[in-house]
Structure 1
């Protein structure tokens, strides 16, 4: 797959003084993800191959996960050879003197991909000195694409996103997800059972990056989930944050494995406090 000419940038080597431009990083991310998404879509059309399990018998990885990740890493290394890359399937590729680290989920929602459900995404974020500054999430089936740069706003198909204006938690439609470990799922279900009387309803899409983007555009009012890795929320979290949502953990913590909470300011505190009360960040 040929990379568009406007994405043919070269990473600055050791000793470079100018900070990377988030807009240029986003341009490269978008071009790379569009081609990667087409690769994922075409491989799905040909049939899912080489399905294996990872952490548990329900945590699957396919040949397409690996193929998409190899493609994205190769494109990034060709155009910005000094940058680091971390991917869900292959781990970390070390950089050399560059402050940029790319964070990749080649197929977020692999179970949906396996079953032919049209809710999965290629997610790619660029981090500079430990801060995510650009991100893109693309659904290969629908072509829906969400982008953001830090300080530059969040967009879907050219439309700026501002999240939900909701102020009553009781009217909030929430997105969430569940881990693969049985004990963790049991704890998450207990939290959900306690929480659901206090909200409008719950949706479980099966792809955290898409959940965060849906919250950014107000299709969901808020999202919470325990157990997310950095590749699950780096790009989608920036989209949500730039749409005006508070993207946090619980009890003063930042977003991370214990909890990612993305909610507009009108309900963030109320939802946060319920999740703390119900020990949503606890358990296995």
Structure 2
């Protein structure tokens, strides 16, 4: 693995976290409030089942505008519109709708992820998030973190919205009992990739409590930090899928890594408390074929 760069000592990580949260919430309101009754599919990504909606593009354009106005010297690395190089040392990695298929089908499990990172986010192992926000758009929950500043869940009670968000510090509960672990995962869109992932699931399933597939990698990772999932793995994540929630997990005391001592998403991401990750990684290393 490449050595990950460090942020400048005088960088205001709290301000970056606050900006990430403001932008993620604004984009989340956009995609919920203006979700068309009949969504159009604007393009396809890796296959005809991997779609880009008009709202993906609108959400990313809004994030890019807001971040560019607030911090014009920062870079931008989005899922839909490519990359702008930073002159400040900070690049914003944005997933405008993580869980696009859920969004298309109006399944309430999709998120907006906004992360300030140092390093080159296009090179596995050469970058790291330093301040992030992941907003569960349908529920309104916000997961926020900054390096050295813990991970928190901001939740508004729908019965008492006037009370404002309640803050909960997130802590990964340590365990090494893989057989008692609820394991999250996800699947790619290419048919051959999915077939291989299905074979891995068939081997993992008897060795864990059960498996869940939520459809949003960012939320799956945040749920590990929250305790809704015990451990998580997935092959084929991109930096925008990972950037925001990676820091939420690690600041909650968890581990996010790849197989064979590689960086996350190179090509597999495994996340959870150290004991469970230590139990799951050797199993996956015997099952997942190298890229």
Fold similarity call, TM over 0.5: yes
Following TM superposition, by how much is the alpha carbon of 1:50 offset from its aligned partner in structure 2, in angstroms?
A: 4.0
CA distance in 1, matches of 2:206, 2:180: 11
Q: Deviations over 1:101-158 (max 9, x none)?
A: 0000000000000000000000010013433101110011100110111111111022
**Within 5 Å, which residues of 2 pair with 1:164-243?**
164-243=173-252
Q: Deviations over 1:181-202 (max 9, x none)?
A: 1110000000110111110000
Match of 1:43 among 34, 41, 44: 34
CA distance in 2, matches of 1:131, 1:99: 12
CA distance in 2, matches of 1:117, 1:199: 26
Q: Deviations over 1:222-243 (max 9, x none)?
A: 1100100000011111101111
**Matched length:** 265
Q: Tell me what 2:160 maps to.
A: none
CA distance in 2, matches of 1:90, 1:76: 14
Q: Report if aligned partners of 1:164, 1:217 keep a CA contact under 8 Å in 2.
A: no
3-state SS of 2:34 partner = helix
Following TM superposition, by how much is the alpha carbon of 1:46 offset from its aligned partner in structure 2, in angstroms?
A: 4.5
Q: Tell me what 2:147 maps to.
A: 150
Whether 1:80 aligns to 2:71 is yes
- Spell out structure 1 runs of 4+ moving beyond 2 A: 17-20, 49-52, 128-131, 164-167
3-state SS of 1:124 partner = strand
Q: Report if aligned partners of 1:164, 1:215 keep a CA contact under 8 Å in 2.
A: no
Q: Tell me what 2:96 maps to.
A: 106
Q: Tell me what 1:139 maps to.
A: 136
Q: Deviations over 1:45-80 (max 9, x none)?
A: 544234432210110010000000000000111111
Counterparts in 2 of 1:182 and 1:50: CA distance versus 1, 3 Å: closer
Match of 2:19 among 23, 28, 39: 28
Match of 1:116 among 106, 113, 116: 106
CA distance in 1, matches of 2:62, 2:116: 17
Q: Report if aligned partners of 2:176, 2:279 keep a CA contact under 8 Å in 1.
A: no
Q: Deviations over 1:213-272 (max 9, x none)?
A: 000011100110010000001111110111111110011111024111002122121111
CA distance in 2, matches of 1:81, 1:153: 27
Q: Tell me what 2:290 maps to.
A: 282
CA distance in 2, matches of 1:103, 1:89: 11
CA distance in 2, matches of 1:100, 1:137: 18
CA distance in 2, matches of 1:136, 1:46: 27
Q: Report if aligned partners of 1:178, 1:185 keep a CA contact under 8 Å in 2.
A: yes
Q: Report if aligned partners of 2:41, 2:51 keep a CA contact under 8 Å in 1.
A: no
3-state SS of 2:220 partner = helix
Tell me whether 180-189 or 165-174 shows the greater mean CA deviation.
165-174
